[in-house]
Amino acid sequence: MTDKPAVLVTGGAQRIGAAFSRAFAEAGWHVVIHYRSSGDEAAALAGELPSAETMQANLAEDGAPDALARELAERLGDWRCLVNSAAIFEPDDVTGLDPEIFGKAMQVNARGPALLAQSYLAHARARAGRHVIQVTDQKLANPNPDFFSYTMSKHAADATIRMLAMGAARAEDRIYGLAPGAILASHDQSEDEAERSHLLNLRRRRTTPEDVAQAAVMLACGDLASGETLFVDSGQHLLSQPRDVIYLEREGGQ
């Protein structure tokens, strides 16, 4: 059993999840890298970090979030943070919700994180208060009609933040939202398209995975008011964008 504070990062082997894993490791934490099917990537990343392990679970399956939380709570003496970053991002439209995409989005992006947070708060031990970070999206404040089911699922995840803070957390615990903007190439974007589309924010700069990951470490170590959401998006959420930046860039930007 490690003496370091521990963090579980869901989806922690790839993309923004891997950035979270690296940032916590650099800050001196023991990192539990959760994965569903990216076992090779998770093992490789864990091998790069000074104190890390991997855990496999399909958090969309009934009972899986609770089983994962209970197993870790049993053996981690200072499980100080849960970062719910695993997510799926698939397209459907405001005029045509896809029931299959909707079901997956709600299971992975909303239901799984809520159940895992509940079990974490019920069972985890920590020496300095426990922290839940629900990774949402700047679309909460800057909605558009694209990726309809995904956006609904992130609104559902956002609703859990204040409710968990009010009803499931102890006085020393903190429940936060972390809302990134466009960061990495997603859906069917090329890297060149991503480079251009991710400048569509107030600062005309590309928000980096490291920006968001460092914000997560700050939230996990800080004492801000519970139930709050931090936007890390170079001001994107302060705009009114009629479409996702993937399509705005293809239509000539704004």
Predicted pLDDT at 1:
61
**Confidence at residue 158, expressed as pLDDT on a 0 to 100 scale:** 98
Positive or negative, the Cα torsion across 76, 79, 85, 87? positive
pLDDT computed for residue 254 by the predictor:
53
Determine the pLDDT at residue 72.
98
Helices marked H in 178-244: 191-197, 209-221
Task: Report pLDDT for 91.
Answer: 95
Q: Three-class SS of residue 7?
A: strand
* Model confidence, pTM: 0.96
Beta bridge partners of 84: 134
pLDDT tens, per residue, the chain with 254 residues: 678 999 999 999 999 999 999 999 999 999 999 999 999 999 999 999 999 999 999 999 999 999 999 999 999 999 999 999 999 999 999 999 999 999 999 999 999 999 999 999 999 999 989 999 999 999 999 999 999 999 999 999 999 999 999 999 999 999 999 999 999 898 889 999 999 999 999 999 999 999 999 999 999 998 899 999 999 999 999 999 999 999 999 998 65
C-alpha to C-alpha distances, 50 to 45, 71, 136, 184, nearest whole angstrom = 10, 22, 28, 26
Q: Which residues contact 215 (CB under 8 A, 6 or more apart)?
A: 178, 230, 232
Span between the terminal Cα atoms of the chain, in Å: 52
Q: Give domain limits for the chain.
A: 6-250
> Rg for the chain (alpha carbons), in Å?
17
Q: CATH for 6-250?
A: 3.40.50.720
In the prediction, which pLDDT does 244 show?
Answer: 96
Bridge-based pairing of strands 52-56 and 30-35 is parallel
Q: For residue 126, give the nearest of 11, 49, 220 by alpha carbon.
A: 220
